[in-house]
Amino acid sequence: MASSISSLMSAAEQGDSAAKEALFAALYAELHRLAQRQLARQGFGVTMSTTSLLHRAYIDIAEQEGAAFPDRTRFMGYAARVMRGLIIDYARNRQAQKRGGQFEITSLGIEAGNAADSGKLIQVSDALDELARADPGLAEIVDLRFFCGFTFAEIAAMKGVSERTAQREWEKARIYLHQAIRAELES
Amino acid sequence: MATLTPERWREISPYLDRALSLAESEREDWLKSMRVERPQLAELLQRLLAEHRTLSEERFLERSPVHPQAQTSLEGQEVGPYRLVSPIGAGGMGSVWLGERSDGRFERRVAIKFLNFAVAAEGGAQRFQREGRILARIAHPHIAELIDAGVMGNGQPYLVLEHVEGQAIDEYCDGRRLDVDARIKLFLDILGAVAHAHANLVIHRDIKPSNVLVSSTGEVKLLDFGIAKLLSDDGDPAAGTMLTLGSGAMTPLFAAPEQVSGGAITTATDVYALGVLLYLLLTGQHPAGAGPRSPAELVKAITETEPARPSDAVASAGPGTETTAERRAATPERLRRQLRGDLDTIVAKALKKNPQERYPSAAAMADDLRRYLQHEPISARPDTIAYVGAKFLRRYWLPVTAVAVVVASLVVGLYIANRERVIAEERFGQLRKLSSQMFDLDTAIRRLPGSTQARERLVSIAVGYLDGLAANARGNLDLIEEVGEGYLRVARVQGVPTDLNLGEPKQAEASLEKADELMDGVLASRPHERRALFLSAQIANASMILATEEHRNQDALSYARKSAERLDRFMRSGGAQKPERNTAAGLYSNIAAVDLDLHLYSEAVVYARRLVELGRSIPSDLRVVDGLTSLCEAELYQGHSQRALQDLQEARAISQHMIYEGPSAGIFDEFGTLLHEGLLLGEDGAINLGRPKEAIDLIQRAFDIADKAAEKDSRDALSRERVVNAGIPLGNLLRERDPGRALAVYDLALKRSEEAGSSVVMMRKRALLLADSSGALMRLRRYAEAKRRIDESLAILRKTKDYPTAQMGLDSEAYVVLSAWGDYEGKRGDPGQARQIYEQLLAQAIAGKPAADTDLTHAPRMSRVYERLGELDRRTGRAASAEDMDSRRLKLWQGWAQKLPNNSFVRSELAAASFSKAASTGVRR
């Protein structure tokens, strides 16, 4: 892989769509690799939340890239999107009744069947993709909060806004997604 | 209506912002006004806001996709033999419900925990149950019992646990204001539980305050034991490990470095979390420090930064300090003292980044805590340079002997002021003798094959090693301090004159500067860091000695003040151990000696007194006597002769009882104190108590002791030095009274001086002996011999480069020899020549600092010069000049009489001066 993550990030931000794809692939590979490292352990396993996984990835990559690496915030923005991708991939796998990839993700609810909930996740993700076209900042918040589990305080710190603002953005995003999903179901 | 287009969304977005920021009540009014202005927009807004209400009720996206929603619709649901009663909460791993038995049997209530993972794979359910049952067998009074484990029809696993009611342990301790010992005792219960589980090969992995509850009866229960393992490892590599995602805000506050960075989890991981918990209980803070941290910062802190010592963490000034201490039933100061030392070490060991460096088990940690409670020595050792250095040894190879050089303990040498060389050389010689038996360094160096080159090479290796460590030590307080101390020790080897050294003062200075910089760095952010304060005092002390040796008096003075300031702060912070107090005494002694040397007598008194106090508190006779003798000197030069004598006599009384082992006699043995007291009583040409007969008596005794020892052992250089040291003042006292006896003394001393070797020091003494004895010879009218001796002594001083020089002040050898010469010329030779010599002396004396009218030590000699000149002038008929000299002499002593009205020495000098004046006036008339 020729380009470093940091240069991919710069290019992606400038609208280079090839770079965007390469970045997604690179981060996906990185996160996947990290997750697999947990799995490869014999004897003792480990639970690692998405947030820890992301932080670990950030540290690993930042160390490799050295001074050239841009800030955590931007990294987390991209990584969160990738994380969602990983989760959705898995959800799609479950829907297809295949035995889940290399790692099983926790279940979605106790009262509903699992397949249906995977379906819901995919719907949310599709709606999110739409939202990302209209308002990328909001989509990022959903990735960070819903798929990666960061708190409002953490998100606020990452985005350099107040917690109230982060919460409000979240509410807006929810409105959008909810009506988008409903509209989809109705049509 | 179709979904919002991006354009529409962008349009409506700011309005949504506004709407959402308003309270419900305000929103209605605002919408009303909107409807008037932008009706279409308002309608859309209304719909979206309605949507918002709906989605809120639905709790849309409320939980992350992986977290089951705790809904009330579950109430009453049957789970195995239990029935769900009400939700207790949502933990990090799933929702928890209160349950009771559905068959009506009244047993205790249970907690039913639904876990956040699916056991879809075949065999997974059985595996889960099997493992759950293994966990259930770990029964311990302080572990919340796992009653059962099961899997529901839809694959949802659950655990049935003992329902524990209680407070999180940190809140419990704070609420009841438990003191440090009580907290540790509670903590020991936890350790017992963890140890038990470890013995059954179960690791907790998630120890934190909310998992440690304390009931109202004070019983500790550890929750969620081993569940993390259950979640994570289903034993089948193909199926892979369960990965828990996004449980809300999971900040890795209690995560061990290896957990965060993906290393292996072992019992040491639990030890780490226990360390964090203990830290929290003791200090109220997280080891990564106070204040909010983003997860990434926290991760970095966990994996890289060494935590502050608990005792330092509670000491940092801040508003929370009082509260923290209060919650531990102490004052901040008391709390710090309780934590300092063993508890610091225990916590540090639990929190080591490298799991292999921690306590290997909870049981080991418990053992040390119990030892602490029983005031026994703990097994954990604070970091030493050798151990921490091992990390860097891969890069900085170090031969074992070099480590011995750097690490060997050096006692702070006693540096003696130049001023009173007689006594000074005495002590120094003693100490050198003593030290050569005691110091490892000395023998280590001697044992090395080869010459100075080998030693130098070792030193440069040591310095390189230290430089390497210093470059990597940032943030690691203990290491920084160790390196600072290392530089200090190396500096001593390189060139601080108290110790056997390589004679490279510039290099020693460089090392001391490095050390000083490191310590100043530490103290800038932690002004109360005791070890840095103490090291800083030692470093400044060593720099002070170097500066004094090189006559850089201003530098010496500022180092002295720095050393004193740091040392005072260190001593004031309390809790100094005995070896530290001993070292501190040595430092005070050096400071007092330098103050004496620089004629700063009031400062010298301060530090000599501190030294005496410290000596009494250690207790150490040696230090007390040292302090008393310095005190005596200072008081003497201030003119408080009576007090000086009392102090000296006290010193002598104590020293008579001091016992020293080894072939060297003690520093303040009989010889030393006899001589010293004798000088005080009647030293010629210096401040004394005007009791010459007693003085002669005491010094003669000292002289005899030394000579007897010299006689016995022809290789005893020390005793020969002593003969000379006693011989000079004894001869001088006898010169006028009994010149024959004086000469015998001088000649014996001269003989011994030849036997003692030809160092520069000894050569100077020979010159003194020769010059002084010329006076006796003159009294015996053996003028030619007198002249010969004077010539010989001048020749010696030329060789040692002490004559002629620009500075031949009142305390130089040159002064003595020149005075003798002047006397000779005045009595038997050329008066013109004599006058020239005296005038030269006078000019030098006047130009020299400090002046005789401000410094009593110089007054007698100055007075002598005036006296000689006056006599000379009288004999050569220059009456006016004679009167001038006499007047000056009188004025000098009148001035002193005003300053020190009760001083007998001053009074007698004044009387003599008045008499001369009267006589000369009489002559003129």
pLDDT in tens, B786-819: 999 999 999 999 988 878 877 777 777 888 999 9
Q: Which two tokens stand for residue B510?
A: 């460089």
Strand order in the sheet with B212-214: B167-168, B212-214, B220-222
Does the pLDDT at position B436 exceed 60?
no
Sheet holding B95-101, edge to edge: B78-79, B82-90, B95-101, B110-114, B157-162, B146-151
pLDDT for A114: 47
Residue B788, pLDDT score: 95
**Closest approach of A121 to chain B, Cα-based (Å):** 7
pLDDT > 60? residue B47: yes
Contact with chain B for residue A115, Cβ under 8 A: no
User: Residue A135: which of B13, B246, B303 has the nearest Cβ?
Assistant: B13
Q: What is the pLDDT of residues B738-793, one digit of tens each?
A: 999 999 999 999 999 988 877 777 888 899 999 999 999 999 999 999 999 999 99
- Judge whether B295 and A154 are in contact, CB under 8 Å: yes
Q: Which two tokens stand for residue A187?
A: 């049509």
Residues 6+ apart with CB under 8 A from B150: B79, B80, B129, B132, B157, B158, B160
Interchain pair B66, A154: CB under 8 A: no
Rounded Cα distance between B692 and B62, Å, is 101
Give dist(CA B591, CA B314) in Å, integer: 33
The pLDDT > 70 percentage for chain B reads 74
pLDDT digits (tens, 9 = 90+) for B1-46: 456 778 888 888 888 888 888 887 888 888 888 888 888 888 888 8
Q: List the single range of B184-193, B471-480, B766-775, B879-888 with lowest mean pLDDT.
A: B471-480
* A/B interface, count of CB pairs below 8 Å: 222
pLDDT category at B440 given cuts 50, 70, 90 is very low
Dig out the tokens for B591 from the structure.
């400071």
Q: A residues 2-21 near B, CB within 8 Å?
A: none
Q: How far apart are CA B905 and CA B902, in angstroms?
A: 9
B162-182 burial: b if 16+ Cβ within 10 Å, else e: ebbebbebbebbbeeebbbee
The answer, for A98 touching chain B at a CB cutoff of 8 Å, is no
pLDDT score at B17: 87
B196-243 confidence digits (pLDDT tens): 888 777 777 778 888 899 988 889 998 876 665 554 443 332 222 222
Please give the biggest Cα pair distance in chain A.
Answer: 51
The residue range of the domain holding A39 is: 2-186
Average pLDDT for B353-370? 87
Is A184–B3 a contact, with Cβ atoms under 8 angstroms apart? yes
Q: How many CB atoms sit inside 10 A of residue B265's CB?
A: 24
State residue B68's pLDDT score: 35
Least Cα distance to B853 among B902, B825, B802, B894 occurs for: B894
Element (H, E) at B912: helix B904-924
Comparing A49 with B350, the larger pLDDT belongs to B350
**CB contact A113 to B (< 8 Å):** yes
Residues paired with B214 in a beta bridge = B167, B220
The pLDDT-based confidence of B476 (bands split at 50, 70, 90) is: low
As a whole-number percent, the residues of chain A with pLDDT over 90 amount to: 5
Residue whose token pair is 């080869």: B450
pLDDT of residue B262: 61
Minimal C-alpha gap between B514 and chain A (Å): 29
pLDDT confidence band for B528 (50 / 70 / 90):
confident
Question: Which residue in B3, B22, B229, B230 has the most chain A C-beta atoms within 10 A of its own C-beta, making it the best mutation to test that interface?
Answer: B3
Instruction: Indicate the pLDDT class of residue A115, thresholds 50, 70 and 90.
Output: low
> pLDDT tens-digit profile of B665-682?
444 467 777 887 788 788
- At B67, is the pLDDT very low, low, confident or very high (cuts 50, 70, 90)? very low
Quick one: closest CA in A to B6, which residue? A134
Per-residue pLDDT of A74-86, as tens digits, reads 788 888 888 777 7
* pTM attached to this predicted model: 0.41
Predicted local distance difference test score (pLDDT) of residue B661 = 35
DSSP string, B732-776: HHHHHH-HHHHHHHHHHHHHHHHHT---HHHHHHHHHHHHHHHHH
- A48 → closest Cβ in B116, B239, B243: B243
What is the ipTM for the molecules in this complex?
A: 0.75
Give first-to-last CA distance, chain B, whole Å.
136
Tokens for B638, please give them: 């201030």
φ/ψ bin of B86: left (φ > 0), alpha (ψ from -120 to 50), beta (otherwise) = beta
What pLDDT band is residue B437 in, cutting at 50, 70 and 90? Answer: very low
Which residues of chain B have a CB within 8 Å of the CB of A100?
120
Candidate from B114, B237, B251 with C-beta closest to A110: B114
- Domains in chain A: how many in total? 1
Q: What distance in Å separates the CA atoms of residue B127 and residue B741, rounded to the nearest whole number?
A: 108
Residue with tokens 């030393």: B672
CB neighbourhood size of B107 (10 A): 10
pLDDT at position A147, please? 78
Sign of CA dihedral B912, B915, B921, B925: negative
Sign of CA dihedral B477, B483, B485, B488: negative
C-alpha torsion sign, points B430, B436, B440, B441? positive
What is the separation of C-alpha B249 from the centre of its chain, rounded to a whole number of angstroms? 42
Which two three-digit tokens encode residue B384? 């030493």
CA-closest candidate to residue A50, choices A148, A160, A118: A148
**Whole-angstrom Cα distance, residue B227 to residue B249?**
19
Whether pLDDT at B427 is above 70: no
Q: Which of A72, A142, A180 is nearest residue B3 as measured by Cβ atoms?
A: A180
| Residue B127 distance to chain A (closest CA, Å) | 15
pLDDT score for B70:
34
As beta bridge partners, residue B97 has B87, B112
pLDDT of residue B192: 92
Q: Do B247 and A178 touch (CB under 8 A)?
A: no
**CA separation for the pair B688, B679 (Å, rounded):** 7
Kindly determine whether residue B10 and residue A135, on different chains, have CB atoms separated by under 8 Å: yes
Q: For residue B252, is the peptide bond before it cis, meaning its omega torsion is within 30 degrees of 0?
A: no
Contact A91, A30 (CB under 8 A): no
Collapsing DSSP to helix, strand or coil, B687 comes out as: coil
Dihedral angle sign, alpha carbons of residues B825, B830, B836, B842: positive
- Amino acid code (one letter) for B42: A
Mean pLDDT of chain B: 76
Contact flag B156-A107 (C-beta cutoff 8 Å) = yes
C-alpha to C-alpha distance for B169 and B175, rounded to whole angstroms: 10
pLDDT digits (tens, 9 = 90+) for B79-116: 778 888 877 765 444 567 888 887 767 677 888 877 65
Which of the four pLDDT bands, split at 50, 70 and 90, describes residue B699? very high
Min distance B335 CA to chain A CA atoms (Å): 33
Give the closest residue to B739 by CA, choosing from B691, B695, B698, B773. Answer: B773
Chain A residues whose beta carbon lies within 8 Å of the beta carbon of residue B67: 106
The confidence band for B461, taking pLDDT boundaries of 50, 70 and 90, is low
Kindly indicate the confidence band of residue B398, based on its pLDDT and cuts at 50, 70 and 90. Answer: very low
The interface residues of chain A toward chain B in range 145-174, judged by CB-CB distance below 8 A, are: 145-151, 153-154, 157-158, 164, 168, 171-172, 174
Question: Which of A99, A154, A171 is facing B52, going by the closest CB pair?
Answer: A171
Per the listing, tokens 């030619």 go with B784
**What's the mean pLDDT in B399-412?**
26
**Cα-trace Rg, chain B:** 42
